[in-house]
Structure formats: structure tokens, C-alpha cells
């Protein structure tokens, strides 16, 4: 088995725990929601896998200047939370590509329940070997998707390849701080082996070398820290009592610890979070 395949399996094991639809369905019913007839907002506690949740998705959409005529590729889009927000708020067409098959299957069910299957589609695949032709998308979108990818150079070459000339990469990502170590577990990794953060300066240099011109860069670490602190204060002591719509449904009982470690990492300057916009040149 190749090293790349081993890493893929490790990432898949982290996110794909089996029976995800059953857990989400039970939590929806426990909260008085019909699993077959949902609003996009109903799913925000479980399908927004990134800091500041839905607000961050809308901020990035405004930065990118999305319109209903655009075709968007959401790399590592998970259950499709951001994609459904974009489809419902902007009216654009979004394809979600994710390495975890279960996310794609469950994402399709959630999308059908929100009535957005005509705008949001899912495909299982690897961001390092995108199953699309050159110049296929107006926008490539990533929200907390690159943390598990070690080969950032190849990632952003692939992004550039599938973008139309003049198209945009809209990104909202987690970055390493120089000369520090991340406290684990965190939402994207239980241990260091599948965590591949780089400092902001390194990623920006890789993007430039990949033919992606920087148009905007905004560090939002402070806003993210405040968001995590507010959420941490209101988290239940146990993710399983009562059944609740939280990311514990996806990440398991370690989620509370992961969430609090994410806050500590921000407070201690071990990581940073930023969003940016880049143009294919």
C-alpha cells in the first residue's frame, strides 16, 4: 500500500465513523425536526466544519463576489454545509468534492432534504488529483479543508488547473504559528500524523508560485478566538446528553476536547486563521 493511500485511509478513519446518517437523523428527530424536510439553517450546528460557522461562509462569499451564474468547486466540503449556504443565499451551482465517502452519501441526503439537489452535487475524490478537466470552475472554495493535506504545492497547482482564466480561489484556512506545536486532539486530527499546517507566509508564497495572484488577505484569528470562547462556555459537559445537533455526531465524544484545544491553540498563538481571495493568472 502506498504512503499516499495510507494517509488517505488515516484521514478517512478520522472523519468517517460509520452510521453517520443514523446519528444525525436521531438528533434531528430529538430536536423536533423532520429529517426529510429541512431548512439550511437547521443543519448549521452539524454541517459547518469551520470557525465562525455560517457567518464565516457568508463573509467569504462576499469577499469572493459570488453570483448565481458561477460554478463553484468546494474542495473538502464535507457534508455540504457551505455549499448549501451558497446555493440558498447566492443561487450558484456548487460541486462538493470530499475524500470521505460517507460525507458524500450523507451530504446528498441532507441536500435533498433542503430541496437543493438541483444546485448542490457531491463527488468522492482526492484534492491532489482532481477529477475535472482544465478550466472547469469559476471559483474554487476551501473552508478549513487543507489542514490534512501535506503536499500544498500539488494542491494549489490542481486548484489553478481547474480554474477558468481569471477565476478565483476563495479560502478560509487554519495555519501554523512559527516555532510552536499544536495541542492535540483538534477537530481535523487526533494526533500529529495527519495534521499538515504551514505558516501563513509559506502558504501565500506557494499560492503565488502556483499562478494564483493574491487579491485579499485577512487574518481573523481574533474573531475566531472570540467565537470559540463563546461556544466553549455554552457547550454541554457531555456531547451525548441529550442527543444534540453538534459536531460530536461527526467527530465523536472527543469533540468537546478537540473544540477546547482549538480555543487554547488560538489563545496561545499556536495557530492562526485567515481568509483570502486569489485570482488565476
Spatial separation of the C-alpha atoms in residues 18 and 13, rounded to whole Å: 9
Contact 236, 244 (CB under 8 A): yes
Q: What is the CATH number of domain 3-280?
A: 3.40.50.150
CA-based nearest residue to 25, from 14, 34, 17: 34
C-alpha cell at position 130: 482532481
Q: Name residue, grid cell 481568509.
A: 275
CB-CB neighbours of 219 under 10 Å = 14
Spatial separation of the C-alpha atoms in residues 99 and 170, rounded to whole Å: 20
Q: Digits of tens for pLDDT over the chain (281 positions)?
A: 334 444 566 776 777 678 999 999 999 999 999 999 999 999 999 999 999 999 999 999 999 999 999 999 999 999 999 999 999 999 999 999 999 999 999 999 999 999 999 999 999 999 999 999 999 999 999 999 999 999 999 999 999 999 999 999 999 999 999 999 999 999 999 999 999 999 999 999 999 999 999 999 999 999 999 999 999 888 766 545 556 899 999 999 899 999 999 999 999 999 999 999 999 99
CA-based nearest residue to 210, from 136, 125, 281: 281
pTM (2 d.p.): 0.94
Amino acid at each position: 500500500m502506498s504512503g499516499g493511500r495510507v494517509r488517505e485511509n488515516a484521514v478517512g478513519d478520522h472523519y468517517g465513523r460509520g452510521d453517520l446518517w443514523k446519528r444525525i437523523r436521531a438528533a434531528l428527530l430529538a430536536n423536533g425536526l423532520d429529517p426529510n424536510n429541512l431548512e439550511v439553517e437547521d443543519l448549521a450546528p452539524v454541517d459547518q466544519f469551520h470557525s465562525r460557522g455560517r457567518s464565516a461562509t457568508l463573509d467569504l462569499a462576499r469577499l469572493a463576489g459570488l453570483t448565481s451564474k458561477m460554478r463553484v468547486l468546494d474542495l473538502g466540503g464535507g457534508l455540504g454545509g457551505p455549499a448549501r449556504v451558497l446555493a440558498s443565499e447566492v443561487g450558484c451551482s456548487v460541486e462538493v468534492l470530499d475524500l470521505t465517502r460517507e460525507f458524500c452519501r450523507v451530504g446528498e441526503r441532507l441536500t435533498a432534504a433542503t430541496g437543493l439537489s438541483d444546485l448542490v452535487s457531491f463527488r468522492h475524490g482526492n484534492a491532489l488529483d482532481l477529477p475535472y478537466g482544465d478550466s472547469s470552475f469559476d471559483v474554487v472554495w476551501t473552508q478549513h479543508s487543507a489542514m490534512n493535506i501535506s503536499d500544498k504545492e500539488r494542491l494549489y497547482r490542481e486548484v489553478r488547473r481547474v480554474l477558468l482564466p481569471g477565476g478565483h480561489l476563495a479560502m478560509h484556512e487554519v495555519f501554523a504559528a512559527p516555532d510552536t506545536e499544536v495541542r492535540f486532539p483538534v477537530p481535523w486530527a487526533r494526533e500529529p500524523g495527519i495534521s499538515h499546517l504551514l505558516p501563513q507566509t509559506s502558504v501565500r508564497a506557494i499560492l503565488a508560485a502556483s499562478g494564483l495572484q493574491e487579491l485579499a488577505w485577512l487574518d481573523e484569528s481574533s474573531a475566531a478566538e472570540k467565537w470559540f470562547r463563546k461556544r466553549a462556555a455554552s457547550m454541554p459537559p457531555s456531547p451525548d446528553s441529550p442527543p444534540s445537533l453538534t459536531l460530536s455526531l461527526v467527530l465523536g465524544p472527543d469533540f468537546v476536547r478537540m473544540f477546547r484545544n482549538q480555543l487554547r491553540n488560538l489563545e496561545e498563538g499556536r495557530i492562526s486563521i485567515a481568509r483570502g481571495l486569489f485570482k488565476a493568472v
